[in-house]
Structure 1
């Protein structure tokens, strides 16, 4: 039971006033941080070529309306005579549309007619079901549904969508860190699964992100275990500087138990409505902080905020956001809470809200988390590299932990942990070394030795999937202190030397395994010594007359 939380519910009017004043100071401090500057941008060009799709009753009036300002093509889903029109009209039974602002492609078919196709800049979709089913539709595509007001708003926007347009390139991708795949074996697919714009796809051992479809939610960067995908605009460093400034100002103004209320644009009206209600209002210790999107922050940012002194993190989501975002954030909150519990910090520290009205939000904020935070505020700044930020936060939380633990077990699927190697079956072939995307597994140039650094492991499973001996098992956990950063030896063996030329070419254990498996093979029957030779000497031996050796054989010791 969280005694601090129950005590806080009783309330201290004087402290509540201090908290309210401290919140004002926090908001001013965060707003004083200069706005993030966009770096690279993505450009669109639209000439206004508009495709309108739907039945005659639904689509014809809007095609006529748009045709007064835009070059329109109408695709009718029913074969109705619409008379002469100043724009092309086609009848279609099956329609497919793909693309983005300025670059849509449509294909359609009708009974007894050749297939049709066309390129368009804009699409007004008035079909019963959207032709593009992604939760976050591409720019230039409008599927307003059946409400007249929504259709009017869509038509008004379409008429303005002519010209050149830019948006920030929200992500940065570092291929060398990507844990998606190796040698055709699957690893991490978290970014592909969570993208609501369907902008991410597999491209062999790497992923491909379509910047024209990317909506900038940042969910892919939140679930990426290695940091291969980073949120470029606004950057993690910029968000971190706002959080750090707000929490420092709150603390200096005498506030207690601050909670960051992270929200995106859709949550602002709900928070404003709660704040205008004198009976409830937003509690003084709850500090609203606007983000470009709530899915853009995860465990690295949250743990950093706790290291800065936050008593909790509340993330506000609305019904407009994709359901997979909430599932991902909930998973990350459970991992983060498990880590904090393992270090002895009294919780809860996290609250994920998905509300539909101000009253529901007001009640939830009265129960905002009041978890235990470190007694000393951290001084580090969020780094560009996600894993570096995590290291800073974890080190601070560990140093000030009420009950420091060397390791905390985590749920299956967590992106942190170690690996266990079965030394009886591991042949030290080093296939896992080549598969590891994060340099967590390493070999040793001078001897057969498998080494591991837990700090680098992202639990992608590529090592286990690659291992021909099935000798590797993932161990999800969070290690602390020097244990996390040390290089440890997981397996080692003596090198085996060729019995012909004395060159080291494998390990004793590997050769023993080969002898056991291939002793009955026809290619080696009666010639087992060839398994004890390096590749070059084996070929030479096979080409020589039986029984003739140019170099004396050396029996293994």
Structure 2
């Protein structure tokens, strides 16, 4: 368990009874919010063609069971002296690989001394010692129950029902324009790729590619995405926000105090809470999510702005390790901001409990952080950065302290950049790389502008800069200037010595002279570096030895 214990006063039985009644009102109000229907769905079609993989002593008996209802093929991973006779295809393989999803699995295997063979299947029962698809989140239609007979029986029973047409929501929405993954072949953010436990997100050059058939709807990608380019489309953030807001408002109206939202998954987490029953403290309000990995700093800041004294995220041990690490990092960032604003905490608790007794102890020590005296009335937006703007503005307006800025650790999605003016040539590579519009050019003038509110600290500008002139500065500013374009660097324009047209900056031309003076194309013709592109070509194409008259610009 990762618990930050807080001192708390003895339980007042009168207030506890009031909290219990208030919690009932909060749960009723939350459940009254209608669930949105998914606007886009993903369809699967399965005819039940099943591949069973494993050693003969395990694979063949279960294949016999499945063959009574489904078309089956078997891939044996142990050497056979004689091929067993079965009413379905049986192959022996030294190596095997499987990839895909329900209705579209592709298998490749190779028998000793034979060429590679392949086949397509709708379902896979993997009884091999090591799973052929190692991702934490398994694709629909892929069953790897392990060695327990009861688990294998359950898997086979589930497979018998996996024939026909199926659909699920398309859980994500992706806006390529604001994606910070890459620009011009330079990689910046890969947070969504690293965290996806279904291996549904892949590098696709300067962008990412999400396989909707593999996506399991955990929402972790939207939690770690700094720009909000990938967001949770179903269930949308707006629904979660309305449920939180309704629950907290009803709880306070019914006389409850110090409410804590307990975010949990609708299966293991809900089952664990059901075992606790009346042992759940009255001020703890359970709120089921599609997946606990889908919640991050935007949701937590909004909840505290709505009046929550704390947020507890319950993990039961079934979650992917990278999910837990990301939640822990997000909580550290969020708590740093709340501490900097002067709100007494802690407010956030990442709780890992697998037994009711553990959970009961932890919930008695749930956070009792301070919240704004006036609850916020804004709604969660599907755009993550908009929600953060609303929540942070409200938290700062009502904060005990009102700092101009809060220092943050590296990895936070807020900050500024520092530009080494001596090194910066104002080439504007960083402007073209910035996915959030934080960096802007001078609209024809040789200057670099920056809007801090837009910066997500993705690092693409620093990675792109040919002069290594940019350094990231993670922080959260509350100055009015964060919304305005400030000049980070500027220079005098340099005019072509031939046609007098401005084509660069003095710093850029000086850098070119220093780097290209020995280049064969310019050796003995350094004046070409002081010309614009058109005049440079004209000068290079002019016949050697021919008298020319060049009008030089007067300084």
1:86-141 deviations in whole A, cap 9, x for unaligned? 11111111111110000001111111233221110000111111111110110000
In structure 1, C-alpha distance between the alignment counterparts of 2:537 and 2:348, rounded to whole Å: 65
Equivalent position SS for 1:9: coil
* Structure 2 partner of 1:40: 40
List alignment gaps of at least 5 residues for structure 1: none
- Deviation of residue 549 (structure 1)? 3.8
In structure 1, C-alpha distance between the alignment counterparts of 2:149 and 2:270, rounded to whole Å: 26
In structure 1, C-alpha distance between the alignment counterparts of 2:306 and 2:545, rounded to whole Å: 76
- Deviation of residue 5 (structure 1)? 5.1
Matched, 1:420 2:422: no
* Structure 2 partner of 1:260: 261
Contact in 1 for aligned 2:94/2:111 (Cα 8 Å): yes
In structure 2, C-alpha distance between the alignment counterparts of 1:197 and 1:24, rounded to whole Å: 36
* Structure 2 partner of 1:304: 302
Q: Indicate which of 342, 359, 383 corresponds to 1:361.
A: 359
Contact in 2 for aligned 1:235/1:384 (Cα 8 Å): yes
In structure 1, C-alpha distance between the alignment counterparts of 2:345 and 2:528, rounded to whole Å: 64
* Structure 1 partner of 2:194: 193
Q: Indicate which of 283, 290, 293 corresponds to 1:285.
A: 283
* Structure 1 partner of 2:552: 553
Equivalent position SS for 2:137: coil
* Structure 1 partner of 2:221: 220
Residues 247 and 481 of structure 1: is their aligned pair in 2 closer, same or farther, counting only changes over 3 Å?
farther
- Deviation of residue 523 (structure 1)? 3.7
Contact in 2 for aligned 1:5/1:371 (Cα 8 Å): no
- Deviation of residue 76 (structure 1)? 1.3
Matched, 1:382 2:380: yes
- Deviation of residue 13 (structure 1)? 1.6
In structure 2, C-alpha distance between the alignment counterparts of 1:352 and 1:79, rounded to whole Å: 48
* Structure 1 partner of 2:326: 328
- Deviation of residue 85 (structure 1)? 1.2
* Structure 2 partner of 1:398: 396
In structure 1, C-alpha distance between the alignment counterparts of 2:375 and 2:164, rounded to whole Å: 50
* Structure 2 partner of 1:516: 514
* Structure 1 partner of 2:147: 146
Contact in 2 for aligned 1:398/1:481 (Cα 8 Å): no
Equivalent position SS for 1:423: coil
Contact in 2 for aligned 1:500/1:551 (Cα 8 Å): yes
- Deviation of residue 520 (structure 1)? 4.3
- Deviation of residue 547 (structure 1)? 7.8
- Deviation of residue 516 (structure 1)? 3.0
* Structure 2 partner of 1:274: 276
* Structure 2 partner of 1:247: 248
In structure 1, C-alpha distance between the alignment counterparts of 2:116 and 2:228, rounded to whole Å: 45
* Structure 2 partner of 1:231: 232
Q: Indicate which of 526, 529, 540 corresponds to 2:527.
A: 529
- Deviation of residue 200 (structure 1)? 0.5
Contact in 2 for aligned 1:406/1:483 (Cα 8 Å): no
Contact in 2 for aligned 1:75/1:92 (Cα 8 Å): yes
Contact in 2 for aligned 1:416/1:458 (Cα 8 Å): yes
1:371-401 deviations in whole A, cap 9, x for unaligned? 1111110010001100000000000011111
1:236-270 deviations in whole A, cap 9, x for unaligned? 00110100111111111111111100000210111
* Structure 1 partner of 2:166: 165
Matches within 5 A, 1:362-511: 362-511=360-509
TM-score (norm 1): 0.96
In structure 1, C-alpha distance between the alignment counterparts of 2:70 and 2:515, rounded to whole Å: 73
In structure 2, C-alpha distance between the alignment counterparts of 1:552 and 1:250, rounded to whole Å: 81
Equivalent position SS for 1:394: helix
Contact in 2 for aligned 1:432/1:462 (Cα 8 Å): yes
- Deviation of residue 83 (structure 1)? 3.8
Equivalent position SS for 2:327: helix
Contact in 2 for aligned 1:19/1:285 (Cα 8 Å): yes
Contact in 2 for aligned 1:43/1:166 (Cα 8 Å): yes
Contact in 1 for aligned 2:84/2:90 (Cα 8 Å): no
- Structure 1 window deviating more from structure 2 (262-271 vs 505-514): it is 505-514
1:9-37 deviations in whole A, cap 9, x for unaligned? 32222111111111111111101100121
1:519-540 deviations in whole A, cap 9, x for unaligned? 4445434433222211111222
Equivalent position SS for 2:9: helix
Contact in 1 for aligned 2:6/2:366 (Cα 8 Å): no
List alignment gaps of at least 5 residues for structure 2: none
Contact in 2 for aligned 1:136/1:196 (Cα 8 Å): yes
CA RMSD of aligned residues (A): 1.4
Matched positions, count:
548
In structure 1, C-alpha distance between the alignment counterparts of 2:84 and 2:207, rounded to whole Å: 52
In structure 2, C-alpha distance between the alignment counterparts of 1:419 and 1:83, rounded to whole Å: 68
Matches within 5 A, 1:42-121: 42-80=42-80, 81=82, 83-121=84-122
- Deviation of residue 484 (structure 1)? 2.3
- Deviation of residue 462 (structure 1)? 0.7
Residues 84 and 518 of structure 1: is their aligned pair in 2 closer, same or farther, counting only changes over 3 Å?
closer
1:388-445 deviations in whole A, cap 9, x for unaligned? 0000000001111101111111111212111100000100000111111111101022
